[in-house]
Amino acid sequence: MTAGAPGRPQDPGGSGHDRQARGAAGEDLAARWYEGQGYEVLERNWRRRQGELDLIVRRGAMVVFVEVTTRTTDRSGTGAESVLPARQRRIRRLADRWLSELTPAVGRSRVEARFDVVSITAGQVVVVEDAF
């Protein structure tokens, strides 16, 4: 590993590009898992100024907002443990916005919503359904 730029701390998680690539690979694994369970992937990396929703999947009337965490080890705890209340509130606000922007034609009252966390550590996928 190369030293960081002068005056900047070294990034223990690798370069920003490495983290982005690891995150994208984790989201690919999560999307494939949901597809294997019969879900349709509606959105990946849906972004607004307030943040991003990693995956939005659907099976029937159930729309699932999925937060994906990808880590190389669980030394600092599991990825699911990193989805703390402030992050949960942000995800809920973004999900509400997604629903208000994209479901008027479908009828929002006919949509059920769930929040899952997918924790990927060293390639192992753990899905926590209805995590919050």
pLDDT, tens digit, 9 for 90 and up, residues 83-126: 999 999 999 999 999 998 876 555 556 789 999 999 999 889 99
Q: What pLDDT does residue 72 have?
A: 84
Q: Domain total for the chain?
A: 1
Residue of higher predicted confidence among 22 and 86 = 86
Residue 36 belongs to a domain:
yes
Residue of higher predicted confidence among 8 and 49 = 49
Residue 46 belongs to a domain:
yes
**Domain around 35:** 16-128
Residues 117 and 83 sit within 8 Å (Cβ to Cβ): yes
d(CA 82, CA 33): 21
Q: What pLDDT does residue 107 have?
A: 53
Q: What pLDDT does residue 48 have?
A: 96
Q: What do you get for the CA distance between the two ends of the chain, in Å? A: 38
Residue 108: give its domain's CATH number.
3.40.1350.10
